[in-house]
Structure 1
Amino acid sequence: MSGLPATVPHRLTGRRVEVTEPLDLGGRGPGTAEAVGFLRECQSLGLSVSWRATGSPRYDLGALRHLPPPDELPSKADELAAWRSAYSYGSLYHRRGPGFVTVLDRRDLGTALRLTLDHPALCGVFLRLLEPTPLDALDATGREAAALLAAERLVLVSAGWAVTLPPRIRRWPVPCTAI
């Protein structure tokens, strides 16, 4: 145990979260998975987030454009501008049913993709990876499921860690058809 806090240092004021330390998007360990999971949960609760990014991502940042963009993204001004222009609340989310998960993905302009995960392994891994998880903690079937979900851009896999990307929307805007 390193003695570091298990959560991202942040301050919550009303419906706004201010993250006090930069979040590592570099993809070199559990920090990136935890940062993405934290941002996903903030979005799930309908919170606005002010945060700064650090690190140089080795993965497609387009997979994160459903999350609120950072205030700063060092040496990636073009990608930050693209993220800001593409961001829309509710562009990626999931809903759960008995034995299945449905995902709506509108991250790419002009497309809307609805996926239903009803295979027990895919559904189970999708839900398990809501908590950032090392791939080594999954069995062979779980790692295969994580790879399939990553290929669909529903899971971010980086440096041996994986985290589910779509939030479960718990606070819908009024009217809810705004999403």
Structure 2
Amino acid sequence: MTGGKVVVDEPLPLGTGGRGAADAVRFLRDCQSRALTVDWVPDRDALPFDTGLLHHLPPPAHRPTPTGGSGGTDEAAAWRSRYAYGLFYHRRGPDFVTVMDRRDPSASARFTLDHPALLGAFLAVQEPTALDELDTTRREAVSLLADERLVLVTRGWVVALPPRLSRWPVPCTSV
């Protein structure tokens, strides 16, 4: 890391799903929380989940191909074109979390997680967590959070998607 930019030397293991993908998403989410620019590439072109879930995170770098053509996939290009800081984030209050989701401009949403089971599950999966480690109540809550696209569930692992931003994405007078 140098001056607000992180360069990842090896491809992030998003394509494998599971623990590796959950760790990679947490890493990108935490970089987003700190408003860091990240230069990275995925380990595979095709990912085992909807990349639209991740358009709020720093997109993969554009890499030219050895033949001089354009590198990457249409998915990666779409991610780069849709990315903007502050599309999706959460803020914490006493006994609640508010999530703002503007990843899909036609379906922007604001969620307030104040039910103890939902709040507990959301906070528990800030770190990648195996679904098997969660009790029945938290697994049910994770299922509800996944239905609202607030968490990524991949091959038995779950991680929360919205970063907790340290820099406000809009002028404070706009809220």
User: Is TM more than 0.5 here?
Assistant: yes
Match of 1:119 among 95, 115, 120: 115
- Residue matched to 1:28: 17
Higher relative strand content: 1
Is the contact between residue 129 and residue 162 of structure 1 (CA under 8 Å) also seen in structure 2?
yes
- Residue matched to 2:27: 38
Counterparts in 2 of 1:99-114, with a 5 A limit? 99-114=95-110
1:174, distance to aligned residue in structure 2 (A): 7.6
Match of 2:124 among 105, 113, 128: 128
- Aligned partner of residue 142 in structure 1, secondary structure: helix
1:110, distance to aligned residue in structure 2 (A): 3.3
Change (3 A) 1:108 1:14: same
Is the contact between residue 11 and residue 41 of structure 2 (CA under 8 Å) also seen in structure 1?
yes
Counterparts in 2 of 1:1-179, with a 5 A limit? 12-55=1-44, 56-72=46-62, 77-172=73-168, 175=171
Is the contact between residue 27 and residue 158 of structure 1 (CA under 8 Å) also seen in structure 2?
no
Gaps of at least 5 residues in structure 2 are: 66-70
Is the contact between residue 18 and residue 51 of structure 1 (CA under 8 Å) also seen in structure 2?
yes
Gaps of at least 5 residues in structure 1 are: 1-11
In the TM superposition, structure 1's runs of 4+ consecutive aligned residues that sit over 3 Å from their partners are 72-76, 173-179
Residue-pair matches, total: 168
Is the contact between residue 86 and residue 169 of structure 2 (CA under 8 Å) also seen in structure 1?
no
CA distance in 2, matches of 1:174, 1:14: 23
Is the contact between residue 65 and residue 83 of structure 1 (CA under 8 Å) also seen in structure 2?
yes
- Aligned partner of residue 115 in structure 1, secondary structure: strand
What's the RMSD between the two structures over aligned residues?
A: 2.1
Identity %: 60
**TM-score when scaled to structure 2?**
0.89
Change (3 A) 1:164 1:108: same
Q: Deviations over 1:112-155 (max 9, x none)?
A: 21010111111011011110010011001111111110111000
